[in-house]
Amino acid sequence: MATTYTPKSILITGAAGFIASHVCNRLIRNYPNYKIIVLDKLDYCSNLKNLNPSESSPNFKFIKGDIASADLVNFILLTENVDTIMHFAAQTHVDNSFGNSFEFTKNNIYGTHVLLEACKTTGQIKRFIHVSTDEVYGETDEDAVVGNHEASQLLPTNPYSATKAGAEMLVMAYGRSYGLPVITTRGNNVYGPNQFPEKLIPKFILLAMKGKPLPIHGDGSNVRSYLYCEDVAEAFEMILHRGEVGHVYNIGTKKERRVIDVASDICKLFSLNPDEQIKFVENRPFNDQRYFLDDQKLKTLGWYERTTWEEGLKKTLEWYVSNPDWWGDISGALLPHPRMLMVPGIERKFDGPDISNSASLLIPNNFSQSQMVVLAPKNNSSSQKPLLKFLIYGRTGWIGGLLGKICEKQGIPFEYGKGRLQDRSQLLADIQSVKPTHVFNAAGVTGRPNVDWCETHKPETIRTNVVGTLTLADVCRENALLMMNYATGCIFEYDAEHPLGSGIGFKEEDKPNFTGSFYSKTKAMVEELLKEYDNVCTLRVRMPISSDLSNPRNFITKISRYNKVVNIPNSMTILDELLPISVEMAKRNLRGIWNFTNPGVVSHNEILEMYKTYIEPDFKWVNFTVEEQGKVIVAPRSNNEMDASKLKEEFPELLSIKESLIKYVFEPNKKTSFAGKAK
């Protein structure tokens, strides 16, 4: 868990807009010692009245200006001693992005780049919180039960979300290249007071107030998740103080509603007949059917949704009824497809002094987002060739079976290989039949029921683990295919350079030093030979664990059933988190050797303590020494720590082993009433 961060001087961009104004007002209200500087262009969807609660506070300052002005941004950072930036400013309305997409590139990408460069130049920023959207994930499958997590692939489907994804890439690059302390958020749709009426809920409320039809794009079956603005402001407050640098946080809710249901709820609050009031209009060029987020990571920081849909909608309606003229003439925003407001040069009138001398471009702010998930986009045409198709070997194996389920959830076409790995002609037949874009090798001999089997079946072990793997790699190379190879980290053991408890792990370039079992020998042998193949991505898995505690191959299941266990810290692999990452690695065409474990180590006793806390309060176990263990097993076992920094650098959101155990294994299986107290 990250330590609490305390800012001194915060620059909030776009805070005259919707979400950022609620965040600004909350911080001003709760932290009088923080200096808050707002930089806003006052574009068409901004309004200084949104900041009325803060304007008289001594720790508040407003500057009218554009984030695209590098001189202005640098001047503010230096003269205001800014140590924290919360970057909300962006063009956010999807309809506008179809009609004036270049403005989205200027604001969302170039504006973000200017801020990042200023942070690099001044060298004084301790937190840069970049506000993105769940739309960067793309469309979620309608039947998906698991939402997009923070390591999911970005597959934007409209110009708006594409520019937000592009801005995220810049943020990530500056974090890696220059060490900027960046944090990114991706949120669901937000609603509440102060939101500009181009967005669905305020638009429907204002139209219903006038008794006018509520225009719904398409058939209204599109599903969205909505969070009340104050809950979202609290989430940003939490991330500001407790978020970890380099991480991404989804701000979401699992409570989903169809657009037509939202319209119906609003009609009912005004005693209108939905059948008479709702009008179906032409759909957007592309309208994502659904967005769905995994919000567990933020919840581990202590945040949770407080406001029910009914309560939030009622508060929002009451505010708009009480403030019908808040925005002035917004007739253009109430059109079914309001694109005419996005014209360069159109700004809201600013009655106060213009603090900056910078030329204005366009900076909106309301960041009301739009939803969530999937790693693979849906094809609009049945004749369209799939972007991805996986050929998976190891259908009857644990990892191979899980890979198939992941592909099904992500909508990735796949087939299991029918050929034996050591039979070249059968492998060629599989490739010619399936025509894959990637090949996954999750086949191999680990032993029945454990690696001791390999000690008395050496030819069979060589045939699959060495000959078969090399044959598949060679066939893939001939056909210009990347092979994702699930290997093992059980080829190392603690030694003088990597002593137990030192925190010094074995790296990808280290040579294997464990020869205690024949299984490990074959794995080390084939890994060395695979270095000659530039089309292979080798993933060193260790002591795999999943949320399925009934699976006898699960490390937790194994040790919970043993009469006695050793107690040695080891690196381990949480499959629920890492297997989807392996799919993402294939999409990125990553190659070479990777330590495929969660960062850090965990001991047998620590796992069993968690098991006792979350699953079985009366569980007991007995330890014995490695020497005593050696008397009841045939082959020695590998114990080591793997250095996962390479994987962590590629996927900053990767959880430590203990965090991942709690999130992906023990929390989903929690059976005791006091488990939450153990965190």
Annotated catalytic sites, by residue? 134-135, 160
φ, ψ at 503 (rounded to 5°): 80, 5
Q: Which two tokens stand for residue 289?
A: 């059917």
| Burial class of residue 374, CB neighbours in 10 A (0-12, 13-18, 19+) | buried
Q: Which two tokens stand for residue 123?
A: 């060298």
| Burial class of residue 203, CB neighbours in 10 A (0-12, 13-18, 19+) | buried
CA distance 297 to 184: 13
Q: Which residue has the tokens 């074995």?
A: 506
H or E segment to which residue 450 belongs: none
Say if CB 379 and CB 232 are below 8 A apart. no
Say if CB 571 and CB 545 are below 8 A apart. no
CA distance 34 to 135: 32
Output DSSP code: residue 145.
-
Within the chain, what is the greatest distance between any pair of CA atoms?
86
Put residue 68 in one of left, alpha, beta given phi > 0 → left and psi -120 to 50 → alpha: alpha
- How many Å separate Cα 277 from the centre of its chain? 38
Q: Which two tokens stand for residue 348?
A: 């809201």
CA distance 271 to 291: 30
Could you tell me the sign of the dihedral formed by the alpha carbons of 283, 288, 289, 295, in that order?
negative
DSSP states of 167-217: HHHHHHHHHHHH---EEEEEE-EEE-TT--TTSHHHHHHHHHHTT--EEEE
CB neighbours of 227 closer than 8 A, spacing ≥ 6? Answer: 187, 188, 189, 190, 191, 251, 252, 253, 305
Could you tell me the sign of the dihedral formed by the alpha carbons of 429, 430, 433, 439, in that order?
negative
Rg (CA), the chain: 28
Q: At what angle do helices 575-587 and 398-410 cross, to 10 degrees?
A: 60
Q: Which two tokens stand for residue 470?
A: 């090399």
Say if CB 535 and CB 482 are below 8 A apart. yes
Nearest one of 485, 376, 409 to 440, comparing CA atoms? 485
- How many Å separate Cα 322 from the centre of its chain? 38
H or E segment to which residue 298 belongs: helix 296-299
Nearest one of 68, 29, 14, 407 to 196, comparing CA atoms? 14
H or E segment to which residue 132 belongs: strand 127-133
Q: Which two tokens stand for residue 612?
A: 């006792």
Tally of residues, the chain: 679
Burial 423-435 (b: 16+ CB within 10 A, else e): eeeebeebbeebe
Say if CB 296 and CB 663 are below 8 A apart. yes
H or E segment to which residue 62 belongs: strand 60-64
Nearest one of 62, 56, 19 to 41, comparing CA atoms? 62
H or E segment to which residue 300 belongs: none
